[in-house]
Structure 1
Amino acid sequence: MKNMNDKTKKWLTVTGCLAVCAVLVVLIVAQFKTEKPVDAPLPSPSSPVSDVTVAPPEAENGKDVVVTPPEIPASSQPTDNGAVSSGTDQNIQANPVKPEYTEEQLKDATKKPNGDEVTPQDKPVDHDKVEQPKDTTPSTPKPSGGNSIPGFDNVPNLGENHGEYVDGDGDINKQVGTMD
């Protein structure tokens, strides 16, 4: 190694690092490769078939177990709400039925169409004849010398705005003053 110069050592180092990187890339790619599934071998058709028999359970003390279905009282009849649960068209509830009123029920001004009495709150109001309440709040006098902008009535007018020259290099992130 004494007879190698620095340039040769540098190229050998770079070549060795590239070889190590290539090996690492191959190993990483091999980790992501999925293995093909292997089918389990089918049993040969000549294998012996085993007979499996299940003995029925014996009743205790020679008595048979009898199960009786629960009785449904006649008073609880299923309600038909018009729901359909068969076929491709299924409804959760029946379609609403619009009540039909006669002309006499619709023209009677003392009763609603469903038969309820009409109350004074139900009667319509003619909005053209509604009286507006009179303004009874006392008006507050405006302070003198203020602006007429709402919310800024007490700000005195000091005349024309003026600006000042600030000596600086224009750095907006510069610290101003002392931070104690």
Structure 2
Amino acid sequence: MSTIISLIIIHCLAHTGYRRAGLVLCNGENEYPAADITDAQLQTLKADPRLKVSTKEQQLPAREIDAGKALQNQTPLDDVVLGLTFAQAVAKLDPHNKDHFTSSGKPQCDALGELMQKPVSAAERDAMWQDYQTQATAEADAPEQTAEQAAEQGAESEQELAQEQEDAQ
């Protein structure tokens, strides 16, 4: 038995960690079940020049549906989206939950592994966490963009995306 689900595909032209409509996005393609995105969020995402939003239907085999149900039945991470990136996984974790973060403030490997759908060693977590922290610091130190600069950058990014798609064909 399989099920068809609708997905919202958000191609983010901005940096990993870019936030819009209550979502933390990674640079590149981000997939979310359509049922998890409200109409207001969708309008906000579509209005952002740094984002390209599309939809697709995906057929899930029964084993993936069963895995999703099993994850949903677990209390601390009950709104899991399968196969998240590191930044998306960190955004889903509760910093006040000791099952999600260590006493030194790093994400727990088990919680990350659950969300990312792959084992995460302490060394891997530490390397990704360092990169994540470095990028967050750089973004916090960066000057704010004006709306005109953001629109300009969005237009340039659109051209780059169009060129990438043309090259791929």
Name the structure where strand makes up a greater proportion of residues: 2
Q: Same fold (TM over 0.5)?
A: no
Q: How high is the TM-score relative to the length of structure 2?
A: 0.14
TM-score by length of 1: 0.14
Whose radius of gyration is greater, 1 or 2? 1
Relative contact order, higher structure (CA 8 A, sep 6+): 2
> Which has more helix, going by share of residues?
2
